[in-house]
Structure 1
Amino acid sequence: MAIEFAKAVQYWTAFVIFGAMTTLENDYLRVSIRPKGAELTSLLHKSSGIEHLWQADPGVWGWHAPNLFPVVGGCLNNQLLIDGKTYPIERHGFARQSLFETTESTTTHAIFTLRSSDATRVHFPYEFEFQIMYELDGPRLSITYRVVNQDEQTIFFSIGAHPAFTVPFFVNEAYDDYFIEFEKEEPLETHMLSAGGYFTGETKAVSTEDNRLQLTTHLFDQDALVFKNLTSRRVTLRSDRHNHSVTVDYPQFPYLGLWAKPGAPFVCIEPWLGCADSEGQPEPIQQKEAIQNVAEGDIFEAMFSITVA
């Protein structure tokens, strides 16, 4: 009885802090999204019973699939320079730590909204709505980012995804049974990051076989692999040992990051519209690499999708 009561208290505490979980479901997938960060927390393939999303072990890496806004990666001095003023900003921005409102929800569709407030203006002095839309269609989950400009000027921002997929899929497999298959056969070149997470200006060739990048426990020993010049707009996580796979399509995202904590049983596949700063001097937000913008009264949208087979 005491254990059951403790569990009930724990559940209610989580509910009060993070809000009610939203579940979407069809014949193929069941997914869950929490209001904190509008973060995907479960991606269950129903016929196989495979939970494809990393379950945020806090002793390893305590996230599932954070949404990155209004910056991707780190900013020099942890600051944004906007109109001659500096604003404190944490790595990957504040959206992943913010409580979103569930503004629309059906069995297979949900919209989460974060509105500008006194709390966001401390870090990002614009008037906006940031919406994240989840939609199930067969074995595919599409995620759409929408930035609504409610300001009287152009808004500049970066945006990106950071979903972590569990590897291996089955307990009798190894991490290095898996590989990332790129849509096209092309040379891969990663842009190197400093110990602080900023680009150094150096690049390094990444070894592949045909269009396959083999996963190994040491692949990410030097931080993320960041690709800025890919022609591929689709990658698939798969193994030669079975036909199960996870495909990420990112037609509107020119940058792609791959990352895992070294030795951890997951891999992040991260479509980005923006990236970390480079070593050197901070630049005004409108001059940052890969920065996005949306004019007064306009709406910005970008979509990527995850397909499970």
Structure 2
Amino acid sequence: MTHKLKSSELSIEVNEIGMELCSIKSNQTGTEYIWQADPSIWKGSAPVLFPIIGALKGGYTLINGKEYKMPKHGLVRNSSKPKLIAQTDNSLRFRLSWDKESLIQYPFEFQLDMVFTLVGKTLEIKHHISNLGNKTMPYFIGAHPAFNCPLYPGETYEEYSLEFPELENDATWLITDNGLITDQTQPFLENSSSIHLEKHLFDKDALIFKHLKSREVTLTHRNKGAILSVKFDDFDYLGIWAKSGAPFVCIEPWLGIGDSFNSNNEFVNKEGLQKLEPQQSETKSYSIMVID
């Protein structure tokens, strides 16, 4: 089941399954900005990544000496258990809570609320993470929204770029064939504020940036200008990805990162680990603003 919000400018839809944003559409032009999950290419639109980001080495992790298996990107993606718990004129609030089945994969009593608030041309997306248990809860949280690119008939992928407000000097971290992060980098942003999109950009998987100064990135057409921007002040890492040659681009704010190729599988040793003390909560947000 999907749930809808409408502002003066935009209409959005969120799927109860996975609490996944599945549509941002212009009321005026009907333009759809979110990738529509074509299963023949990639069946996601904007998965929620929790309590891990990316892949686990060997498909498992060790927590307090016990082995736990989790699929890539964790427990929320594709889950049928989240429910809509509150709705206002401009917001939707969904919740996924721990249960006996989740404890088999992740031994913590968590609660994750996703709150979508639409005002004008801006959608704010809040991840509200709570530790309902009596022990410190380690976790990761991330977003994976995919945006249609190109947007309009007759355009090409190569007419688009991603623009940062700051001049950046950062490398991308190389990824193994099974999705693990290596200790090798490839020079990428060298005193540059722009990533030019082209069909072979993601042949070796995602671009992963750990040291960006910018906390905003804008999808831009070379003639039409800025299309939309993603602001991610609460997130330390940024992934940029698409299926090689596919007509979309993912802009992915992360708190944490996938397993390293030389990981010892201990969850507490994973890079970018977040921790919540018992009965504590915190909120991590990002926003999508449509410009064109």
The TM-score normalised by the length of structure 1 is 0.91
Contact 2:200 2:245 in 1 (8 A): yes
1:153 aligns to what?
A: 135
1:283 CA drift (Å)? 3.6
Pairing partner for 1:199 from 181, 203, 211: 181
1:209 CA drift (Å)? 7.9
Q: Structure 1 residue 39 and structure 2 residue 11: aligned? A: no
**Alignment partners' CA distance in 1, 2:16 and 2:283:** 20
SS at match of 1:218: coil
1:14 aligns to what?
A: none
**Alignment partners' CA distance in 2, 1:184 and 1:47:** 32
For residues 239-290 of structure 1, the C-alpha deviation after alignment (integer angstroms, 9 at most, x for no partner) is 1221451100000101000000010000000000011111124242222100
2:89 aligns to what?
A: 107
Matching residue's letter, 1:232: S
1:11 aligns to what?
A: none
**Alignment partners' CA distance in 1, 2:187 and 2:108:** 39
Query: Superposition RMSD on alpha carbons, in Å?
Result: 1.2
**Alignment partners' CA distance in 1, 2:213 and 2:113:** 28
Matching residue's letter, 2:248: F
Higher strand fraction (1 or 2): 2
Structure 2 gap segments, 5+ residues each: none
1:158 CA drift (Å)? 0.6
**Alignment partners' CA distance in 1, 2:190 and 2:33:** 24
Contact 2:50 2:74 in 1 (8 A): yes
Structure 1 gap segments, 5+ residues each: 1-19
1:23 aligns to what?
A: 4
Pairing partner for 1:50 from 20, 28, 31: 31
Contact 1:190 1:203 in 2 (8 A): yes
1:104 CA drift (Å)? 0.6
User: Aligned pair in 2 of structure 1 residues 280, 244: CA closer, same or farther (>3 Å)?
Assistant: closer
Which structure would you say has the larger Rg?
Answer: 1
Contact 1:179 1:239 in 2 (8 A): yes
Identity of aligned residues (%): 36
Q: Structure 1 residue 180 and structure 2 residue 162: aligned? A: yes
1:77 CA drift (Å)? 1.2
Tell me the matched-pair count: 290
**Alignment partners' CA distance in 1, 2:263 and 2:203:** 27
Pairing partner for 1:225 from 200, 203, 207: 207
Q: Structure 1 residue 253 and structure 2 residue 239: aligned? A: no
Q: Quick check: 285-294 or 246-255, which moved more?
A: 285-294
Pairing partner for 1:135 from 117, 129, 136: 117
The TM-score normalised by the length of structure 2 is 0.97
**Alignment partners' CA distance in 2, 1:207 and 1:127:** 40
1:188 CA drift (Å)? 2.9
1:210 CA drift (Å)? 3.8
Q: Which runs of 4+ in 1 moved over 2 A?
A: 207-210, 281-284
